[in-house]
Each structure stands twice: as C-alpha cells, then as structure tokens.
Chain A
Amino acid sequence: MGRFGFVAKRLLQTIPMLFGIVLVVFMVLQVTPGDPARQVAGLRASEAELEEVREKLGLNDSVVVQYGRYVKNVLQGDLGYSYKSRKPVAEIIAPRIVITSWLLVGGVLLTLVISIPLGVLAALRKDRPTDHIIRGLGLVGLSMPSFWTGVILLLLVALRFDFFPPGGFGESTYDHFRSIILPSLTLAIASAPFIIRGLRAEMISVMESDYISTARSLGVSGGRLVRRFVLRNAAGPGITLVALEIGYLLFGAVVIETTFALPGVGQGIVLAARARDLPTVQGYTLLFALVVMAVYLLADIIMAILDPRVEIEA
C-alpha cells in the first residue's frame, strides 16, 4: 500500500468516527435535565401548549427516531433552531466562525514566532543558563490562566496604547487586525510552552542521532547544520505537535474570546451554555469536534506526504 493508500484508509476511518461524534453529542445532551418544551414555550405556558411544542419539535418520538432525524438534518446542514432566539443554529454559528479563524491563525502564527527560536535556542544551549531560563519561562507560562494573561495585556497594553482596542472585533479589516493582535498573543503565550518543550526534546534527540554525527564529521556545522539537518528532521513531529494542540487552542479561544469580548464561536458556546440553549450548544459542540477531527486528519496527511516512513507504521 502506497502512501496514498494510507491517506485513503485514514479518510475512510473518519466516517464511523463522524457518526460516533454525532451520537455522543446527541446522547450527552439527551440526558441533560430540564424540559426543552418548557424552555421554548415559556414559564407560563399551559400543559396543552407544552404538548403542542413537544409535538412540533418531535420530542414525543423515541430517542432512536430523534437521533435518526438529527443525523439526517445535520447531513443537510440543518442544526435545528435555537430555543432562545428561534433562529436556525447554523445561521447563529456561521458568522462567528470567521472571527475565531482570525484568532486561531493569529495565535498559531505567534506561537511559532515565539516557540521556534526559543525551542531551538534551548536545545542548542542544553543545560546551560539560557536553557534554564527558557524552561523556567515555560513553567510560568503553563501556570498562567489564559484569561488572566488577557486581562494583564489589556491592563498593560490596551489601556496605554489606543492602537489596541480593549475588546470587540471592529468594523473594517484594519479594525479586525488591531483587535486580534492581543487575543492572538494571549493564545500564543498559553500554547508556546508546549511547543517549546516538544521542539527542544525533538531537536535534542535529532542532534544525538547518527546522521547528525556523520554530517558533523563531514564538516557541516553551525547554522547550516541546524537549518538543513536538525530542524528539517524535527519539523515533522513539530507539525504533529501543533495539530495535537488544536483541542487546547479551541478551548483557549473559548476563554480568550470571552476575555476580549470577541464575538467568535468560543464566546458563542459560552453564551449558549449560560442560556441553557440546547440545540445551539449541540451545534457548537459538533463544530468543535469536526474541526479537531479535520485537523488531526490533515496533520496525518501532511506527515504522510512529508515522511515516506509513515505508511510503514500505519
């Protein structure tokens, strides 16, 4: 089986997982206490009105029928209607995706800008003061709640420089750009320690390998050795590392969007959860699960293309 066979197999594997994810999302929220009909109809609705709402929402059908209908609707892009605003859930979520994408892209870029130099430096200066300082900073970073980091950045940066708005996403592209810098930096501060630690470990293990000794003995040294031989071989695991972070990054987005009042999907799920708006929470959960699955899949495919050894392990 070639490496494209691996990609095909990996793609096929995602189909049962998709159904599993929809099932778990459906089941968890099925056992949620509270009467959805009561939520839709309001506190003063009579029993007859409640019954009418139940009938309309299909809540009287068996769980299996409801699940079947849910899967069918999801496949058609219909995520149901919000209990609160009565709008289609898909319409509520869609505009928020753009904003979270800005945050995630900005966050990943800044993470790489921070962690590649620091990770490489720590590996090259292993067990020396520079390494200790970088690892110490990493420990501090790991202990910082990202919403608190956000508040500190608001206090120290946004309140001092008008360039950075204290919250919101603004109207123009220029506004978006200004609004996303501090949230992205917050996200990067939260995720960089993991990447630095992983990159450092990966670099050290590559540098101790035979082919690096060989390259050294052939007179390759300094920046050329690091760039052409060490970093290139450490890059693959690096991609996997960033991909595995996606769940953590998404949770970071949930917290950071709330801190900076960014109307993205992270803030959206929190608002929906606080309002106990079940179909909307369901929609967001599904979206998050799909994103995570897609990113894992993408990382595996990129790895398979970059590294011919992947198919052997598959």
Chain B
Amino acid sequence: MTDPTALPLDLSAADSQGPLDDRKFWQRLPVKVWVGLAIVLIYVLIAVFAPLLAPHDPLAIDPANKLASPTGDHLLGTDELGRDVLSRLLYAARVDLPIGFLGALMPMVLGTILGALAGFYGRWTDTLVMRTADVVQAFPAYILVIVLVFALGQGAKSILVAFTVLAWVVYARIIRGEVLRIRDLDYVHAARVAGLGRLRILRAHVLPNAINQTLIYLPSDIVFATLALAAFSFLGLGIPPPTPEWGAMIAEGQPFIRTNWWLATIPGLIIVVFGLGVSLIGEGFEERLHG
C-alpha cells in the first residue's frame, strides 16, 4: 500500500467486521502457519540462490556418466543424459515456484479488478462480467487448460494465460460481493462527499478492504497451480525440455524406477513438501478466521 491516502482509511477499516483487519491477527497465529511459512521461505531461498547452491550446471550433459548412483560428486546421482539430479532439482525451483505463485496471483488480480468493476459500477458492467463468469464456470476447467495450452503452444506463458482465463471467476465473485457490501458503508460515503472521484474511491478505499477476503483462497490456488504445472509438464504439454521442472523430472525418471528409483520419487517428494507448506499457511489462516 504505497498510496498515502489509503493509510487513515485502513484505520477506519478496523470498525468493519473483517477479521483480517484485526491487528491482533498476526499475534497468536497457529503454529502451523509458522511451520508453513518456514517451509515456503526455504523453497524461495533455494530458488533465489540455486546458482550458488547447485554443485553442477543443470543442463550439462555427460554421456559417459549417465544414470549414475549417488556419489560424493553427484549427491543424487545423474539422469539418463548424465545431468546432475541435485542441481536440476534446485534449478527447477526457479521454474515451479514463480509459475505456482503467478498462476495463483494473476487470476486473483484479474478477478479482483473485474469483480470490483462489476460491483462498483453495476448495470451492464456487472451483467457482462458475471455472465462471462457463468460461462467460464460451466466448463470442465482442467480440460480447457489442455485445449488452451494446445491452442497457445507449449510453455510457461501459455500455462499462465490458461490459468488466468479460467481461475479469475472465484475471485471476481468474492470481490463483487464485498464491494457491494462496502460501498454503502459510512466511510465510503464520506469519501464521496469529500469529492473524491469514483475510481479513486474504488482503488484507495473500497479495494484494500475487500481484498482481504480473497487472500484466504490464495494458498490453495498456489498449490493447485504448482500441481497443475507439474502435471502438464509430466504429460509433455508444459515446460519443454531441457529446462528442469519437477513434474517433467518425474516423467523422465519413471522408466528407470526399477534401477534408479530416486529419479522419479524425489522430485515428487519436493512438490509434496512445498504443497504442504503452503497448505499449512492456508489452514492456519482459515482456523484463525473461523475459530
């Protein structure tokens, strides 16, 4: 919140019932939130410092040393092209994490904007946005992702676009409901009487208070986006090789589960722990909110 005008009105929001506005919220958070935050922080650090942490170049091929068992030099062995598995796992965090976060954030931003416009302006804006939402929701979402990725071509950009096009609906509905509730509260009327423009009221006064409601959905959407990215890469429809990605690494390792079982299992374990970390944060927040 860089806008200074938002500051005093954030204080007035303390009177509204939004439990997230409560300053005590951050105190006495359940332990699971801290555990989750610690896990996620470790993953973020790994992604940021992958070049420093990785013992080898994740793309360097070594045909003489393929499918090697773990040794001192290659702590998790090498894959079928002789690439260092540990380095690839670390570098993959730079692909999976940003797409996981963005895949949840982008629909949230789009949904928030559209929901806010629909709620604040009403009439045909509202009709247009909400009917579009109905249509999108009538479709089997994951299947549409396949179709969209097929249509847009393989790669991170297509996946993000597909997620955004399909997942904004939930956020738009929540924000619209919140905006409808908030726009008639006293402080918004006061702002209007003070002569502030409509867009400015929406941006500075209504949105900051409505947005809290959507934050609860963010963790589970991050988990979904990460799992979906891994799934599409596993299917050969996501991140194209040779870029390291956890789901693709599982696919690459599956043919060798009899001999090199760790190739396919460890990337999955890494996804599970990340997903668990994010879910713990979400669960903790939800418990704090709903008692």
A residues adjacent to B (C-beta < 8 A): 17, 20-21, 24-25, 28-29, 31-33, 135, 139-140, 142-148, 151-152, 154-155, 159, 246-248, 250-251, 254-255, 258-259, 269-270, 273-274, 276, 281, 285, 288-289, 292-293
Contact = CB atoms under 8 A, between A and B. Distances in A.
B146 interface: yes
Contact of A142 (B223, B230, B261, B264): B223
A269 B247 contact: no
B280 A255 contact: no
A173 to B, nearest CB: 28
Contact of A273 (B146, B220, B230, B234): B146
Contacts of A258: 234-235
B107 interface: no
Contacts of A152: 265, 268
B231 to A, nearest CB: 5
Given A140-B272, A285-B147, 9 more contacts: A21-B138, A32-B150, A33-B151, A143-B278, A144-B268, A145-B272, A151-B250, A152-B268, A273-B150
A143 B150 contact: no
Contacts, number: 136
A142 B279 CA distance: 9
Given A152-B265, A155-B265, A292 B140 contact: yes
Contacts of A148: 250, 264-265, 267-268, 271-272
A86 to B, nearest CB: 20
Interface in B53-98: none
Contact of A151 (B151, B237, B268): B268
A6 B265 CA distance: 50
B18 interface: no
Interface of B: 135, 138-144, 146-151, 153, 220, 223, 227, 230-231, 234-237, 247, 250-251, 254, 257-258, 261, 264-265, 267-268, 271-276, 278-280, 283
Contacts of B283: 135, 139
A281 B140 CA distance: 15
A254 B235 contact: yes
10 contacts: A17-B138, A24-B135, A28-B147, A139-B280, A145-B272, A147-B251, A151-B257, A247-B143, A250-B143, A254-B143
Main DSSP-derived SS at the B contact region: helix
B275 A142 contact: yes
Contact of A31 (B141, B149, B151, B220): B151
Contacts of B230: 145, 147
Contacts of A31: 151
A288 to B, nearest CB: 4
Contacts of B147: 25, 28-29, 281, 285
Which interface residue of B235, B273, B278, B279 has the most chain A CB atoms within 10 A? B235
Contacts of A24: 135, 139
A248 B139 CA distance: 11
Nearest to A151: B264
A113 B227 CA distance: 25
B8 to A, nearest CB: 39
A300 B247 CA distance: 36
Contacts of B220: 142
A176 to B, nearest CB: 22
A281 B150 contact: yes
Nearest to A273: B150
A270 B235 CA distance: 7
B212 to A, nearest CB: 22
B236 to A, nearest CB: 6
Given A154-B257, A255-B235, A145 B268 contact: yes
A159 B257 contact: yes
Contact of A288 (B140, B223, B275): B140
